[in-house]
Amino acid sequence: MPPTASAAVVARPAALSGVLYADPSSSPAAWVAANPSDRRTAAIKTKIVGVPTARWFLQATDAQYVANYVGAAASAGRVPLLVAYDIPLRDCGSYSAGGASSSSAYQSWIRQFAAGIGRASAVVLLEPDSLYYSSCLTAAQLTERLRLLNDAVAVLRAAAPNAVVYLDGGTPVHGTTVAQMASLLKRAGVAGTRGFAVNINNFKTEDVAHNYAASLRTALTAAGVSGSHFLIDTSRNGRQIADTLWCNPSGAAVGARPAWNYGTDGLDGNVWFKHPGESDGACGSAAASTSGQFVPDLAYALATN
């Protein structure tokens, strides 16, 4: 049986009171370590390296790889942020295209991912953009995606009971309305999670993202899903960017550092899912890059704007 609409309404999980883990092998940390004399290093090190960010887990992931990372965080007395990012037909074939080759491959993959977390405390973002960028899917493909997300939620609840899971809640503007996103979240099984995260990989300011998330929570309540909470990705939203710019825009800056900040409207806090300095794709101010590639000039601009 799927979780009831009140399943997400539980006491605050322990993971949401812990100190978040700063991945010592993140791409900004690796670049700074390899370039100690570069003129950009000091700013990147001060403003980006050492700030807790998520590790993204893609196709080449097995239970042991996940367990090693989660174990390192636990040994440091920290809570890791993990992103599961392997849904089939990912990113509508755009810059981050890829994902599992089939539904069965994804179901095997998510079980490996959950098994690697085990009983450890963790915060998990489940498949960013899987709902926000779903307009490219046929009706049958969307139905299958929603089935896979429901399955993933159930698998994580069973195999990783101390993981706090959030679904992709999208970003204000860019087409998908609050009502549409609320419907997709409900159909994807958000009732079995802590809630949703917004502004993933995007640049909307904190107040804009917060207002959108609060409206989305209200819409979910009206749809029969009460008690959802939300996170805001503040990794790159320190300055206002035009609504039409989403891919390596000039003028962006890092935003508020991660912090638990519980609000009466469902806010759980700010986190950095995106690693500042990693490209959105071959576009904007990093047109020669690929999605996910660390670009020092992007990181330096974000750190100094």
Q: Please check if 56 is assigned to a binding site.
A: yes
Q: Does 278 belong to an annotated binding site?
A: yes
The answer to whether 23 is a known catalytic residue is: no
Check whether 246 is labelled as a binding-site residue: yes
CA 87 to chain centre: 13
C-alpha distances in angstroms, 244 versus 177, 185, 247, 295? 16, 24, 9, 22
Distances, alpha carbon 77 to alpha carbons 19, 26, 55, 274, in Å: 8, 18, 17, 22
Determine the 3-state secondary structure of 8 from DSSP. coil
Q: Which of 23, 86, 129, 268 is catalytic?
A: 129
Please check whether residue 299 is in contact with residue 263, taking contact to mean a CB–CB distance below 8 angstroms: no
Q: Which of 23, 91, 168, 233 is catalytic?
A: 91
Catalytic residue among 86, 168, 233, 280: 280
206 marked among binding-site residues: no
| Catalytic residue list contains 243 | no
Would you say 274 is a known binding-site residue?
A: yes
* Half-sphere exposure for 94 (CA within 13 Å, toward CB): 14
91 tagged catalytic:
yes
Query: Residues annotated as binding site for substrate?
Result: 56, 202, 246, 274, 278
- The residues assigned a catalytic role are 91, 129, 280
